[in-house]
Amino acid sequence: MEQKPTNEASTEHNLEKTIHTDFQKSMSYGDYLHLDQILSSQHRLSNHHDEMLFIIIHQASELWMKLIIHELSAATECILENNLETSFKMLARVSRIQLQLIQSWNVLSTLTPAEYLEFRDKLGSSSGFQSYQNRLIEFALGHKNASSLAVYKHQKELFETMNKALNKPSIYDAAIHALAIRGLPIDQDALERDWSQNYEPNASVETAWLTVYRDVKQYWDLYELAEKLVDIGSQQQAWRFHHMNTVERIIGHKQGTGGSSGVPYLKRVLDHQFFPELLSLRTKL
């Protein structure tokens, strides 16, 4: 004789009585996240299956970049206010987000050269080089390049936003200010420089960081800040490398869709170092 399921078994797949199911007058998960807008924003310009991968990888990356900018901006303000400890959680979060972005290149690398060529011409002149959020991250980390704003001049509000970011102190400028606040001697040239210019190494800054690293107990918060920045700088370099490696794997040394030289340009970018004194001091310790 077939055994009838127990009450517990028969209700196993039923919703719990307390779960809300009527959303006529209340906000649902999809409403809160605006999923109707997000999930309807993937518009392939070809009929090729793998174009969806290409679109989603880049859209998801831009969302992660938005969070990085959010965290870096808040952390920079905290450091400028000499509130270093509050910035540490934000900076730790940034380095975790960067791991997500690095991993995304591994997913994109499943796209073969032949598959990409099926829809590459549909991209027109659009290119990842034009990602303004990636540019804002580079600005926030101290890698300034005024000429890069030219690609945004057709969008007045965006151009103004980019120009404002170009002329703001980077998180490293904020960290150098924190050194000075603690009484460590810093050249005025490093404290009152033209923020729109790419940061260049300064001997007084290196000496100050050396003092911090040689007396970690006294300068623990500055030491922790420095190591958080090294983490972020290293991850940004790793992201750049994986970007270059993925592009080389998929298109070789073809010119980029936006007119850049492609892989040669990405390799030149790798020569740039973030927070240079935090790396050079290691040789002198």
Tell me the H-state helices in the chain: 7-10, 29-33, 35-38, 51-80, 84-108, 113-117, 132-140, 156-166, 171-181, 188-191, 203-214, 220-251, 263-269, 276-284
The string of pLDDT tens digits covering residues 59-87 is: 999 999 999 999 999 999 999 999 999 99
> What is the distance between the alpha carbons of residues 207 and 266, in angstroms, rounded to a whole number?
32
Q: Is residue 116 part of an annotated ligand binding site?
A: yes
Q: Is the separation of the CB atoms in 236 and 172 below 8 Å?
A: no
> What is the distance between the alpha carbons of residues 283 and 96, in angstroms, rounded to a whole number?
27
Q: Is residue 268 part of an annotated ligand binding site?
A: no
Q: Is residue 172 part of an annotated ligand binding site?
A: no
Q: Which residues in the chain show pLDDT less than 70?
A: 1-12
What does the pLDDT read at residue 5? 56
Evaluate if pTM is beyond 0.85. yes
What does the pLDDT read at residue 265? 86
What does the pLDDT read at residue 127? 86
SS3 79: helix
Question: The domain 53-283: what is its CATH number?
Answer: 1.20.58.480
What does the pLDDT read at residue 2? 56
Q: Is residue 58 part of an annotated ligand binding site?
A: yes
In this structure, what DSSP letter does residue 183 have? Answer: T
The string of pLDDT tens digits covering residues 211-253 is: 999 999 999 999 999 999 999 999 999 999 999 999 999 999 9
Query: Structural domain boundaries of the chain?
Result: 53-283
Q: Is residue 253 part of an annotated ligand binding site?
A: no
What does the pLDDT read at residue 215? 97
> What is the distance between the alpha carbons of residues 39 and 213, in angstroms, rounded to a whole number?
48
Q: Is the separation of the CB atoms in 269 and 129 below 8 Å?
A: no
What does the pLDDT read at residue 227? 98
Q: Is residue 57 part of an annotated ligand binding site?
A: yes
> What is the distance between the alpha carbons of residues 90 and 101, in angstroms, rounded to a whole number?
17
